Amino acid sequence: MSEKKEKVGFIGLGIMGKPMSKNLLKAGYPLAVFDIVPESVNELVAAGARKATSSREAAVVSDVTITMLPDSAQVEQAVLGGDGVLEGIRPGTVYIDMSSINPLVSQRICKRIEAKGAHMLDAPVSGSELKAIDGSLAIMVGGKAEIFNRCRKILESMGKNPVLVGDIGAGNLTKLVNQIIVALNIAAFSEAFVLGAKAGLDPEKVFEAIRNGAAGSVMLNQKIPSIMERNFKPGFKIALQRKDLKNALEVARDMDVPLPLTSLVQQELIALTNEGEENNDHSAICHFIERLAKTEIRRGSAKQNQ
């Protein structure tokens, strides 16, 4: 006899949330969806989901309610605001926030959820839109072990090897660690490839030479090919990278942890935002150095940059 699957509500059908929702449908979970963009809801309904008219309704009809939203303010509104998850959640059910937000906000929301007799996990993800589509996102989870184990198969429908890293808030703290490394990695190879291009090296040959050595990384392999093609279609927007570093710097400030390199990259992101690049992919961090050096990391650009 096949195992009965819990009903899932999904709130937030953006770049990441839409493919994550579709993977839940593919895994056979009864799904109710809500988003402020009707077209996104209609697309999921056409794929087999049920339409919810509010965050509250998504929670009312679900055993597990998930949010995937841009930042703390949107999550608080969807959960604690009028017609929010808190108004619809039932005792014994679970709320999972898969957004990347301030860990203190996760802890504050958890207290309100638990006061209703329900449970919460914070489970932010790492990975591009492509990883959301193929269901291979990294998922870092904060919460109680028994709730994590209850929801593991749901999480595994959207990502690969979800890891419980601690209590509520630990998921988002781990995501901040991840995002610092991601942003600094992009900034580092941007500087390095601009130097090489300015010196007359072919960026494609440099990439092939170093990608499997000590300087290689997932981000290098993902981003350098698209940078060389000058493709900055967002998989993860500069605005979201800036938001994550803001949260990291705020947490670090409260803990008296100096993050000088993170602070520097955040200044680059602010400058790029002021130049209208907030909706470009975060690989556009390279533009900051390119403009200073008057050199582009472009396929076949070696002679042009000499």
CATH superfamily of 173-293: N-(1-d-carboxylethyl)-l-norvaline Dehydrogenase; domain 2 (1.10.1040.10)
The stretch 105-126 carries a mean pLDDT of 97
Output the pLDDT for position 2: 53
The stretch 162-187 carries a mean pLDDT of 97
Output the pLDDT for position 301: 67
| Catalytic annotation, pick one of 22, 131, 175, 243 | 175
Contact 69, 12 (CB under 8 A): yes
Output the pLDDT for position 129: 87
> Mean pLDDT across the chain, nearest whole number?
95
pLDDT at residue 62 tops 50: yes
Q: Which of 96, 108, 106, 112 is CA-nearest to residue 17? A: 96
Cα-based angle 102, 180, 274 (whole degrees, multiple of 5): 80
Give the model confidence (pLDDT) of 180-210 as tens digits. 999 999 999 999 999 999 999 999 999 999 9
Q: Where, residue-wise, is CATH 1.10.1040.10 in the chain? A: 173-293
Q: Where, residue-wise, is CATH 3.40.50.720 in the chain? A: 8-168
The stretch 273-298 carries a mean pLDDT of 97
Output the pLDDT for position 128: 83
CATH superfamily of 8-168: NAD(P)-binding Rossmann-like Domain (3.40.50.720)
Q: Which of 236, 241, 245, 28 is CA-nearest to residue 130? A: 236
pLDDT at residue 1 tops 50: no
The stretch 87-95 carries a mean pLDDT of 98
The stretch 34-53 carries a mean pLDDT of 97
Within 61-215, residue ranges assigned H as helices are: 72-80, 85-88, 103-115, 129-134, 145-156, 170-198, 203-210
pLDDT at residue 38 tops 70: yes
**Does the active-site annotation cover 7?**
no
For 198-235, the DSSP string reads HTT--HHHHHHHHTTSTT--HHHHHHHHHHHTT----S
Give the model confidence (pLDDT) of 119-153 as tens digits. 999 999 998 888 999 999 999 999 999 999 999 99
Q: 205 Cβ partners below 8 Å, 6+ apart?
A: none
| Ramachandran class of 247: left when φ > 0, alpha when ψ lies in -120 to 50, beta otherwise | alpha
Amino acid at 276: G
